Amino acid sequence: MPQLVLTETWYLVLAAMLFAIGATGLLIRRNVLVMFMCVELMLNAVNLSFVAFARSLDDVGGQAVVFFVLVVAAAEVVVGLGIIVAIMRRRPGATADDISLMRG
């Protein structure tokens, strides 16, 4: 029986699958909140691959970048949820398809 060795390729494949699921959700869901959660999934996939690269290259830089991605994700969620609340207050029950006033 061949011994399977856990290399960073396994982590990268898992991150790719997580990213693909997040991208699919962003494309097929209409609820703005769930679309935001899918963006979080994609950010987490990228974080996972950064940590995998940090270990395989023996470099702290990858982990520092994950730290910054976390901060940017937090700021993005705060502003995004503020925008969603502002929209919902004026138009209850709006989905992503309803927010098309600036459509070209």
Partner 1 sequence: MRVEMFTFLVAGAIVLGGALGVVLLRNPVHNALSLVATLFGVAVLFVAQEAYFLAAIQVIVYAGAIVILFLFVIMLLGVDRVESTERDPLPAQRIIGVLAGLGIGVLSIVILVAGGGDTTGKKSATAALSDQAPDIERLGKVLFTDYVFAFEVTAVLLTVAVVGAVVLSRRPTGDPIDLDEFPDGPAVEHVAMFPDPDDLDDLADLDLDADALAAAGDDAAGDDDSVSADDAAQSADAEVSR
Q: Does 1 participate in binding partner 1 (rule CB under 8 A)?
A: no
User: Taking CA 41 as the corner, what is the angle to CA 54 and CA 77, rounded to the nearest 5 degrees?
Assistant: 105
Q: Does 39 participate in binding partner 1 (rule CB under 8 A)?
A: no
Q: Is 49 exposed, middle or buried (0-12, 13-18, 19+ CB in 10 A)?
A: buried
User: What is the closest distance, in whole angstroms, from the C-beta atom of residue 27 to partner 1 in the complex?
Assistant: 3
Q: Does 73 participate in binding partner 1 (rule CB under 8 A)?
A: yes
Which of 1, 6, 102, 104 touches partner 1 (CB under 8 A)?
A: 6
Q: Does 11 participate in binding partner 1 (rule CB under 8 A)?
A: yes
Q: Is 27 exposed, middle or buried (0-12, 13-18, 19+ CB in 10 A)?
A: exposed
Q: Does 86 participate in binding partner 1 (rule CB under 8 A)?
A: yes
